[in-house]
Each structure stands twice: as C-alpha cells, then as structure tokens.
Amino acid sequence: MNEKPSPELTMENHLPRRLYDGYRAFRAGRLPTEQSRYRELAERGQAPETMVVGCCDSRVSPEVIFDARPGELFVVRNVANLVPPYSPDGLYHGVSAALEYGVAVLRVKHLVVLGHARCGGIQAFASNAPTGDFIGKWISLLAPAAASVQSERENGDYLKRLEQASLKRSLDNLATFPFVRAASERNTLALFGAYFDVATGELSVLERASGRFVAVARD
C-alpha cells in the first residue's frame, strides 16, 4: 500500500481526465508528425502570418475551423469576439495588448475578426441578462452595433444581424489603433471579417464594399 504511484499516474490525477487522455493522443499521434515543426518554431520563434480575434465559445475554435498547424495563427479570444476602441488609459487591456503584439511586433499580414451564430455574449446583451462583475461592462461595447440594428429588433434574425453588425463595428474599432491603421495604409496588413454558423459549419466572409456576408466554398 506504500508503493509510490508512478509519475504517469500522478500526472493523471493533476489534470482533468479528458485533457490527460487528449494529451496522450497528441503525443502518440500529432506530435511525432509535427516534431520537426515544433523544434523549428522553438528555435526560430513564431512567425504567424494571420491573427484571429475570436470568441471564447468552445464551439468556435479558429485552429479547428481553419485547419491550422502549430505556429500558423496568432489568436486572441474574448467574450463575443469584440475589439474595443483604442484607449491607452493605463488600465488593463488584454485584447489591445494582443493586437499590439500581433500587428506591431509579429507583423501579421492578415487580421481576421471571427464572429459566430448563437453567441452567448450577444444574446446576453440583447436580453439584458444579469451579468457579473466583468461581463456586463465588456459587452456594453455592443451598444453602438445594437443601435445600428435597433429598427430590426422585432425581426426573427435580429441576433444574427446584431452579431454581424458587431463584427463590422469591431473592424471599425481596429482602425482606431494607430499601429493597425499605419500597417493598413502601408498595405502590409489586410483586415477581414468572417462569420461561422455553428449549426451548419458554414463560413461567410464580409464583403467590405457591400457590407454583405457571402458564403465561402459552398460545394
């Protein structure tokens, strides 16, 4: 009874079982095939060409949707995939810090705001659901987008319209960051909006000129 558990069993007890099993599967399957890539990334550092601003929602993983390999996507996720306006006020700005790192330091070439259907953050805002110490303040960023679709409040697809209006607003807010604006003007950074339908797996992209979302790869 005094036998010490093996290190492996000890580790198992320190992670949720699903993560333990998932890591074992990664070590046995994906790691051997990606080993040289990981070594290269460790030695040279990361140089992703694309940054994604996505939602925390567990159903909307950018790496899964875009079939990305390690080192390809620089990702920041937050409740309702919002980009706040540029606001260097000395407070704590995790999303803005990630944007600064991705655009000004890593110099990504593409920046994608990835919205999605059935977003809990958007629903909470639309229904005035009670929120805690942080969520309510954060999703109040949706107010300008909500004002822009207020007249469609009674429509059946109001939430989708709000999700898509918010995505456009986030793209507008991106342009308030001096380093984003500068890179865009140099044509070294391109901004994109994309919208993922959780139920069908369909991805639409925003046509900036028309303001419409158009389905990708419908075949």
Q: What distance in Å separates the CA atoms of residue 192 and residue 111, rounded to the nearest whole number?
A: 6
Q: CB of 60: closest distance to Zn ion in angstroms? A: 7
- Nearest CB to Zn ion, comparing residues 41 and 98: 98
Q: CB of 13: closest distance to Zn ion in angstroms? A: 33
- Nearest CB to Zn ion, comparing residues 123 and 148: 123
CA proximity to 139, closest of 182, 80, 193, 216: 80
- Nearest CB to Zn ion, comparing residues 57 and 72: 57
Q: CB of 85: closest distance to Zn ion in angstroms? A: 20
> Residues in the site for Zn ion, rule: CB under 5 A?
55, 57, 119
**Side chain identity at residue 134, one-letter code:** F
Please give the sequence-ordered ranges of beta strands (E in DSSP) within the chain, or none if there are none: 50-55, 73-78, 110-116, 190-196, 203-207, 212-215
- Nearest CB to Zn ion, comparing residues 119 and 189: 119
Q: CB of 35: closest distance to Zn ion in angstroms? A: 34
Q: What distance in Å separates the CA atoms of residue 78 and residue 37, rounded to the nearest whole number?
A: 28
Burial of 125 (0-12, 13-18, 19+ CB in 10 A): buried
